[in-house]
Chains A and B, each alone.
Chain A
Amino acid sequence: MGSKTKVFIASSNRLLRESIVRILAKRTDFEIVGAQAICSTTRNEIVDSGAGTFVLDSLEFFLNAPILSSETGVRNRLAKSVLVAMDDSPDDFLMAIRHGAFGYVLQEASALDVVSAIRTVAEGEAVCPPRYVRVLFDHVAKQAAEFPSSRKRMQTGLTRREQQLVPLIGRGLSNKEIASHFGLSEQTVKNHIHRILRKVGASDRLSVSEACQITRLGWSTKSTADAV
């Protein structure tokens, strides 16, 4: 039999906290290493407890406790977080993921869902409500459209900012409009466009979209020879 999953439970809702402890204590694969109301020492208590997984019912605390989350998206290796009794809010869900959450369980989930989520997260997987998978897909697709990846940069030679400008150039926006959209000066936009034309081998701004074929999944660049 493998080692037990060390779990820390932090919740200011005592009834919720005690009940989760109760249902986990019935399972042989969990060891409760701490359970307490959220307070100023909670962050350190979790770290000191040696917990591999911690359960939390406060998104606000999670977002504001740096060692438990990461604004850079690099997930904390000390303990994996499972947020429980969460409001049904896709925005909160995405915020939690950005800050390094591994599990997100809604308040309309079942008690067994909580147990399953803790177990799954402890095994190195991530858990979210089934219908939030679509939220995640949509978000990633949107991000890909708005912020083309570094792989595209490798393909096209365009910087991220230059990639962001391409769709707007294709839509016929003026330099002034593009500058306003990104909060840049017109001269900066002109400089960006000048570099884009050079990099993709387009003779004018009208050819930029053609040179950078925009697809639903991303965009690629025709060879310079084709574009000229």
Chain B
Amino acid sequence: MKPIRVLVANRPRLMRELVMATISDQSDIEIVGEIHEESEIASAVEQTQPDFLIVALEQHDRLPEFCQSILQSHPQVKIIAIAPDRNSSVFYWASLRVQSNQIEASEAGVLSALRGKSRPVARIQ
């Protein structure tokens, strides 16, 4: 079975590496790259063609601008955004209009989203 390809680009570094530690233990999920700088994300997406991109969410429930253009140019890419606050929360964009903020902020929640077991819903504009 083809592994789920993930590009990891969330901040801060510690949270990124911990997320990677979780993902790298999964046989059905493959990390195709780790990005340190936001400016490098778009080109890395172009180069690696991931199924998922994991980023940091600066503002709750609001997709970073650079992610909007990625979703437009690479509609196959889904985005998981992790808020780097003390009670970390996780959001999931399957497209610009389809999202979920019901992802459990846990290892199981992130893995479930990566495996397509979460249920993103159409966003009410």
A1-35, CB < 8 A from B = 12-16, 18-20, 22-23
CA–CA, A206 and B86, complex, Å: 56
Q: Which of chain B's residues have a CB closer than 8 A to the CB of A85?
A: 12, 14-15
Complex contact A107–B87 (CB within 8 A): no
Stretch at the interface among A71-79, A108-116, A143-151, A209-217: A108-116
Once A and B bind, how many residue pairs between them come within 8 Å at the CB atom? 70
Q: Which of A19, A84, A113 contacts B21 (CB 8 A)?
A: A19
Q: Which of B15, B20, B21, B109 contacts A107 (CB 8 A)?
A: B15
B12-29, CB < 8 A from A = 12-15, 17-22, 25
Q: Check: B107 CB closer than 8 A to any chain A CB.
A: yes
Complex contact A23–B21 (CB within 8 A): yes
Complex contact A108–B13 (CB within 8 A): yes
Complex contact A13–B86 (CB within 8 A): yes
A60 to nearest B CB, angstroms? 9
Q: Check: B71 CB closer than 8 A to any chain A CB.
A: no
Complex contact B90–A15 (CB within 8 A): yes
Q: Which of chain A's residues have a CB closer than 8 A to the CB of B86?
A: 12-13, 57-58
Q: Check: B88 CB closer than 8 A to any chain A CB.
A: yes
A208 to nearest B CB, angstroms? 51
Q: Which of A12, A16, A105, A106 contacts B18 (CB 8 A)?
A: A16
B119 to nearest A CB, angstroms? 20
Q: Which of A22, A109, A112 contacts B107 (CB 8 A)?
A: A22
Q: B16-46: contact bitstring with A at CB < 8 Å (1 yes, 0 no)?
A: 0111111001000000000000000000000
Q: Check: B4 CB closer than 8 A to any chain A CB.
A: no
CA–CA, A23 and B18, complex, Å: 8
CA–CA, A113 and B14, complex, Å: 9
Complex contact A109–B106 (CB within 8 A): no
Residue on A with the closest CB to B82? A15
Q: A98-128: contact bitstring with B at CB < 8 Å (1 yes, 0 no)?
A: 0000000111111111100000000000000
Q: Which of B12, B21, B105 contacts A22 (CB 8 A)?
A: B21
Complex contact B106–A111 (CB within 8 A): no
Residue on B with the closest CB to A86? B14
Known: A22-B107, A84-B14. A13 touches B88 (CB 8 A): yes
CA–CA, A148 and B109, complex, Å: 55
Q: Which of chain B's residues have a CB closer than 8 A to the CB of A23?
A: 18, 21
B77-102, CB < 8 A from A = 82, 84-88, 90
Complex contact A15–B25 (CB within 8 A): no
Q: Check: B110 CB closer than 8 A to any chain A CB.
A: yes
Known: A13-B87, A57-B86, A58-B86. A19 touches B12 (CB 8 A): no
Complex contact B22–A14 (CB within 8 A): no
Q: Which of chain A's residues have a CB closer than 8 A to the CB of B22?
A: 18-19, 22
Complex contact B14–A15 (CB within 8 A): no
Of B18, B19, B82, most A-chain CB atoms within 10 Å: B18
Which residues of A are in contact with B by a Cβ distance under 8 Å? 12-16, 18-20, 22-23, 57-58, 84-85, 105-114
Which residues of B are in contact with A by a Cβ distance under 8 Å? 12-15, 17-22, 25, 82, 84-88, 90, 104-107, 109-110
- Give 6 closest A-B pairs by Cβ, nearest first: A19-B18, A111-B17, A107-B12, A13-B88, A18-B107, A14-B106
